[in-house]
Structure 1
Amino acid sequence: MSRAQHDPAALAGLFSGFGRELNSLRTVDEVMETISRRAFESIPAAQHAAISRGRKGKFETIAATSELPLRVDAIQYELSSGPCVDAILADTTYRVGDLAHDRTWPEFGRRASAEFGIHSMLSVRLYLENDDLLAGLNLYSAELDAFDETDQTTAVLLATHGALAHTAARRQDKIDNLEQALVNSRRIGTAIGVLMASYRVTDEQAFDLLRIASQSRHRKLIAIAEDVIESGELELPPLPESRHRD
């Protein structure tokens, strides 16, 4: 490996560049898609890239740069073993250069090589703040010994910043959801006030009327509330006819 590949300043610059891009994203999906895409673009040996995400015993492949990772990963999920699964569960990084003859995952390696022509993989764990949610960045190549230490360093940098950006995006998502919930709560409260004035009912009864309308019309409560605020009226289902005879 050349001195440039060990240059701390170069690594710091690469790390900062990834960070600026990832930290500008607001959603978890955007973060995951960017990590996968940037890994594919930044590591020439990578012919495909994707992220495995889930919880112990159940994973899914997301943000894939092609259909192939989904098919290769399906074998790992079926066997509950493979570079990406074990990198996540063992909190480590795996770089495999000859899957067809690999002794660690003989069944997976044989099938990945024979069925899809994949001979090399690089899998890196993403350390997410949510301990229950697990994830890993995976790179794939049809070439033997495709990935080297430099590729591994780049992948680790992406995974590190990706995990930080993922945490930030989750926090932002929670904030956005809370803010929207507060707005919705105010609008529903306004609609309740309109119904209380229009129908001379209590606040609890007004809320029940909103829920009845929501259920009968198969619309969200906030949508019904907005209609009430705009029109001052509430469309309710007819009362059932009494079956008792006098």
Structure 2
Amino acid sequence: MAPQDPSDDTSAHEGSVTTPEDRTINEVFTRLAAMLYSGADSESVHQALVDACPTLVEGCDRAAIMLRERDRYRTAAATDAVAAQIDRLELRVGEGPCLDAIRDEAYQHDPDLSDSVGPWPRFTAAIVAETPVRSAIGYRLMLDGDKVGALNLFSDSPNGLTRKAADVGAVLASFSSVAMMALRARTEATTLREGLQSNREIGKAVGLLMAAHRVGADEAFGILRRTSQELNVKLAQVAAQVVAGQEDQYAGRRSDG
């Protein structure tokens, strides 16, 4: 059977996804959300997302998240070695539902990889020859309007991933995109806080050097920068050492007095 065209009214697409009403799904989403907002690292969140797929999606035996970083692709998480292997096979042959999901607007669904009819002949041949997987769906993951990766679901049974499974998977893929946006926002906030702290330390150090050496701000900053380069240490670390050293001297003078 050829891969289902998401624009065909016989297959699901984003505009017609039916949100599943299922207590198990709601409970899993609640746990995933709690994990995300508790501050779990990105690796743990990605792993939790793929581990949820076999629980939530009927017929799904394994799953993986593939991310695109500039022109390179990597597997961010996989339920098992077979799922990770499929990502490598797809990159090796340069085609497949996961790559197309990242590149194109719609998700890619091949219900039966074993029938040798489809747009990815090299991928299909490799999967059938080297893995037990016989059905696959690739969903694009969006981040701030950019296609940054794919959530990939696999079944070991021909036609194991049905239209209903595709609908549930689409909901999970949407949740995954939201999770990735939250992870990016958290990373940016952390970077901003670290940057502000570094700037404060550099400002303090410049002021101390100006007073100690009776030089201007530019010359004091130049001293910091040259020291950073000579020691091969980040500028913020040198600044922190200058400030810490001055505080130690101040503490010593107070104790002597």
Q: TM-score range by the shorter chain?
A: 0.7 to 0.9
Verify: 1:83 aligned to 2:100, yes or no.
Answer: no
Give, as a single letter, the amino acid of the residue that structure 1 aligns with 2:167.
T
Normalised by the size of structure 1, how large is the TM-score?
Answer: 0.79
Deviations 1:39-75 (A, max 9, x none): 1332353332111221686422211122222321222
State the match for 1:120 in structure 2: 135
Shift of 1:200: 1.9
Partners in 2 of 1:73 and 1:83 — Cα distance?
10
1:184-226 alpha-carbon deviations (Å, 9 max, x no partner): 1011101111111222222112211112222222221111111
**Superposition TM-score, scaled by structure 2 size:** 0.76
1:101 matched to 2:115? The reply is yes
Query: Structure 1 stretches (4+) deviating beyond 6 angstroms?
Result: 6-9
Is the partner of 2:21 in helix, strand or coil? Answer: helix
> Could you say which residue in structure 2 is the equivalent of 1:244?
none
- Which residue of 187, 209, 212 maps to 2:226? 212
Alignment CA distance shift 1:185-1:165 (3 Å): same
Is 1:139 aligned to 2:150, yes or no? no
AA of the residue aligned to 1:147: L
TM-aligned CA distance change 1:65 to 1:203, over 3 Å: same
RMSD: 2.8
Percent of pairs identical after alignment? 27
Deviation at 1:138, TM superposition (A): 0.5
SS at match of 1:189: helix
- 2:213 is equivalent to residue 199 of structure 1: yes
| Cα distance in structure 2, aligned partners of 1:91 and 1:12 | 30
Distance of 2:242 and 2:213 partners within structure 1? 12
What residue number does 1:24 align with? Answer: 37
Question: 1:49 aligns to what SS in structure 2?
Answer: strand
Instruction: In structure 2, give the amino acid aligned to 1:21.
Output: L
Q: Distance in 2 between matches of 1:211 and 1:56?
A: 31
1:128 maps to a residue whose letter is L
Partner of 2:172: 158
CA distance in 2, matches of 1:16, 1:83: 29
**Secondary structure at 1:10 match in 2:** coil
Do 1:214 and 1:221's aligned partners in 2 also have CA atoms closer than 8 Å?
A: yes
